[in-house]
Chain A
Amino acid sequence: MAEPAPDSAFLRIEGVSKTFGTFQAVRDVTLSVQRGEIFSLLGGSGCGKTTLLRMLAGFETPSAGRIFLDGRDMAGVPPWSRPVHMMFQSYALFPHMSVEQNIGYGLKHETMTKAERAGRVRDMLDLVQLSPLALRKPHQISGGQRQRVALARALARQPKLLLLDEPLAALDKKLREQTQFELMSIQQRTGVTFIVVTHDQEEAMTLSDRIAVMDRGEVRQVGSPTEIYEYPASRFVASFIGSITSMEATINGRSAEGRMDLNVPALGGVVQVRDMPSFADGQGVTLALRPEKLQISKDRPPGPNAIAGLVKDLAYFGKDSLYRIALPSGALVQVHAVNLRRGDEASRVADWDDQVWLSFDPTSAIVLGD
């Protein structure tokens, strides 16, 4: 009997590393995932997220560290004995089997009667709404349908943990949005814990309860989508999730209650941000501004953080517009503005080469130490 995991987390990854030859794919990762959560591993290619997933599935053995699932140490447990199923990026459907046979494949290892097995396959087909296609072969159905077969096949044995490797990457944009919500609703109905590997930050944001941002084999930050987006812990996370304008800054002092003054050469002066006691006066920091946290106006707005600039570029998306504002220092700042009012080009807030003012709320700015 394996000793129980030190805390009650459903899945606990403790100091796991994986080395291939001289390449360290995963470095000392510690994570815990709660039962019924959708947890994403987010990172660029080669960040170690897929290797971590394959260690959970049992295809790779950790070079160091341990993995506990529901209190059980998974070391030495082969893939075929793990209550963990995986939905592969390529779906990996068996081409010589029908949709029905694919979904029922794992069930032949369960002790259940023929009727029970058929019933489970039928339930799964209903769950992913593929009942009419039960007898088709994988090459006779569309990409989106294949994705649902792969999901049903992985869920059929009612795993404790479902691993999804880039579940939406092979789908086109429209289908991806629709499938996202479907995945979430299926997860809610089945209650299975999902671990999703993705390189797509939007996908991670909409699907997940929590996200672990990975970079070069390490977990850089774990948190809810909101935490990761609004309170990034490092420049890497800030720039990886969403777009952002980062600038060098120095802490100038604390002139007002709850405020901190930053000298930002790129903005051509001093701005005010929310005070963060962990930073000392004179310390060099990074000021990061999300495009949608900046306001753009023709006249100088009241308040401390107003910067003059020139509209260098403008991209009109319909519901909103993206501006690139050139500051006198030469820096470029991105601003996202929702097009609240209907009108033609003349009614826009700003046009090419217009002189405009940027402003932001002191609490909206992100200040990072590294």
Chain B
Amino acid sequence: MRRGLAHWFDRRGWSDLIISVPYLWLSFFFLVPFLIVLAMSVATKSPTAPPFSFGGDYPLVNLEGYARLVSDGLYLRAFLTSVWNAGVATVFCLLLGYPMALALTRVSRSWRNILLMLVILPFWTSFLLRVYAWMGLMGKSSWFNVLLTDLWNGAVPVAWAVKSLPMMHSNFAVILVMVYTYLPFMILPLYASLERLDPTLDEAALDLGSRPWQVFLDVTLPQSLPGLIAGGLLVFIPAAGELVIPTLVGDSAAPMIGRVISDEFSSARDWPMASAVAVALLVLMVVPTMIYTRYQAKSEGAK
């Protein structure tokens, strides 16, 4: 037996140990907590500490939380608001990020390093501080708001004139700050996939009669799809579950799903309901990720 163990270790001990590190990490910090949340989601709310219990009026499994997800319009609306806000933010990140990523691949190497640094630079400042900066900018009396208000009043008939633009506490503010926050997560994977493309392919397409915009559609865009999808997921998934931005700048009458989970946990002290929402959100996010993974596996297999 000991000889067998030593034999196994000699043969593949180190590689197995090293490979097991990420699996262990994921098990302890993702799988186990998730199972706890899953268990909580089928528990019953109770005035104990922690505020849930199993058994009682219900058998071990209480699906009331999941039932309320469907029956109570609040949750469905919150899901839709989240998906809409995250979706719009993703589209804007894409529209802004694609040209920036493409430009990064076309400038000289020294400029590229400087510009890449500028893309990452905002991360050096506290995220909360940057959101507060936006709150200041969007506030009614800020120079930014005054400037936009003047532009608006100059462009529209007098009857539509406003004293200031109501930017704060709206979905617009949420989307604006999310685009600002998540833009680097779109640019970096796009840049990584665009940077790998062979520039002679562009020349080949030009040579065969395509104008530059056709070359982009026929050659560049299809080959950057993996980066585009990766960037899209990196923006969409955290944006859909975003808590801080909607809490600080969002419309409290139309909360996003992250806010709902937070409220259920804290003020409502309904942990089973909060867990049910969290599980539903996870399932919602896992589906697009699985589609992406399958797509990537297919294109990797094709290489």
Select the stretch in A88-96, A272-280, A297-305 that faces chain B: A88-96
Q: Tell me whether A59 is interfacial, beta carbon within 8 Å.
A: yes
Query: B200: which of A88, A96, A139 is its contact (CB, 8 Å)?
Result: A88
* B201 and A105 form a contact (CB under 8 A): no
Q: Tell me whether B154 is interfacial, beta carbon within 8 Å.
A: no
Residues of the B chain whose Cβ atoms lie less than 8 Å from the Cβ of A157: 208-209
* B200 and A109 form a contact (CB under 8 A): no
Q: Tell me whether A106 is interfacial, beta carbon within 8 Å.
A: yes
Known: A59-B203, A88-B203. A96 touches B209 (CB 8 A): no
Smallest CB-CB separation from A101: which chain B residue? Answer: B218
Min Cβ gap A197→B in Å is 14
Residues of the A chain whose Cβ atoms lie less than 8 Å from the Cβ of B205: 94, 105
List residues 202-235 of chain B with CB under 8 A from any CB of chain A: 203-211, 218-219, 222-223
* B200 and A106 form a contact (CB under 8 A): no
Classify the interface of chain B: helix, strand, loop or mixed.
helix
Smallest CB-CB separation from B199: which chain A residue? Answer: A92
26 residue pairs A–B, Cβ–Cβ below 8 Å: A58-B207, A59-B206, A59-B207, A78-B206, A79-B206, A80-B206, A81-B209, A84-B207, A85-B207, A86-B207, A88-B200, A92-B201, A94-B201, A94-B219, A95-B223, A96-B222, A96-B223, A105-B205, A105-B210, A106-B208, A106-B209, A109-B210, A139-B302, A139-B303, A154-B207, A157-B208
Bound-complex Cα distance A199 to B210 (A)? 30
* B209 and A92 form a contact (CB under 8 A): no
Residues of the B chain whose Cβ atoms lie less than 8 Å from the Cβ of A94: 201, 204-205, 218-219
Min Cβ gap B215→A in Å is 9
Query: What 0/1 readout, one digit per residue, does chain A (7-42) give for beta carbons within 8 Å of chain B?
Result: 000000000000000000000000000000000000
Interface residues of B (CB under 8 A from A): 198, 200-201, 203-211, 218-219, 222-223, 302-303
Smallest CB-CB separation from B204: which chain A residue? Answer: A92
Most B CB contacts (10 A, CB to CB) among A81, A86, A153, A157 go to A86
Min Cβ gap B198→A in Å is 7
Min Cβ gap A134→B in Å is 17
Interface residues of A (CB under 8 A from B): 57-59, 78-81, 84-86, 88, 90, 92-96, 105-106, 109, 137, 139, 153-154, 157
Min Cβ gap B194→A in Å is 14
Min Cβ gap A292→B in Å is 40
* B208 and A90 form a contact (CB under 8 A): no
Residues of the B chain whose Cβ atoms lie less than 8 Å from the Cβ of A58: 207
Most A CB contacts (10 A, CB to CB) among B203, B211, B303 go to B203
Min Cβ gap B8→A in Å is 38
Residues of the A chain whose Cβ atoms lie less than 8 Å from the Cβ of B218: 94, 105
Residues of the B chain whose Cβ atoms lie less than 8 Å from the Cβ of A86: 203-204, 207
Known: A105-B218, A139-B303. A80 touches B203 (CB 8 A): no
Residues of the A chain whose Cβ atoms lie less than 8 Å from the Cβ of B303: 139
* B207 and A57 form a contact (CB under 8 A): yes
Smallest CB-CB separation from A153: which chain B residue? Answer: B208
* A85 and B208 form a contact (CB under 8 A): yes
* B208 and A88 form a contact (CB under 8 A): no
Smallest CB-CB separation from A140: which chain B residue? Answer: B302
Smallest CB-CB separation from A83: which chain B residue? Answer: B209
Bound-complex Cα distance A89 to B244 (A)? 53
Other A-B pairs beyond A79-B207, A88-B200, 13, CB < 8 Å:
A59-B207, A79-B203, A79-B206, A81-B209, A84-B207, A85-B207, A86-B207, A88-B204, A90-B198, A92-B200, A105-B208, A109-B209, A153-B208
Known: A105-B218, A153-B208. A92 touches B223 (CB 8 A): no
Residues of the B chain whose Cβ atoms lie less than 8 Å from the Cβ of A106: 208-209
Min Cβ gap A192→B in Å is 15
Bound-complex Cα distance A84 to B211 (A)? 15
Known: A105-B205, A105-B218, A137-B302. A92 touches B198 (CB 8 A): yes
Min Cβ gap B166→A in Å is 47
Min Cβ gap B298→A in Å is 12
Residues of the B chain whose Cβ atoms lie less than 8 Å from the Cβ of A84: 207
Min Cβ gap B211→A in Å is 6
Bound-complex Cα distance A88 to B210 (A)? 16
Bound-complex Cα distance A343 to B2 (A)? 67
Smallest CB-CB separation from B209: which chain A residue? Answer: A109
Min Cβ gap A133→B in Å is 16
Query: A80: which of B200, B210, B222, B223 is its contact (CB, 8 Å)?
Result: B210
Min Cβ gap B163→A in Å is 54
Bound-complex Cα distance A89 to B58 (A)? 73
Bound-complex Cα distance A80 to B302 (A)? 30
Residues of the A chain whose Cβ atoms lie less than 8 Å from the Cβ of B222: 96
Residues of the B chain whose Cβ atoms lie less than 8 Å from the Cβ of A109: 208-210
Bound-complex Cα distance A80 to B203 (A)? 10
Smallest CB-CB separation from A96: which chain B residue? Answer: B222
Query: A90: which of B200, B207, B210, B223 is its contact (CB, 8 Å)?
Result: B200
Min Cβ gap B245→A in Å is 37
Min Cβ gap B79→A in Å is 35
Smallest CB-CB separation from A57: which chain B residue? Answer: B207
Query: A92: which of B203, B211, B302 is its contact (CB, 8 Å)?
Result: B203
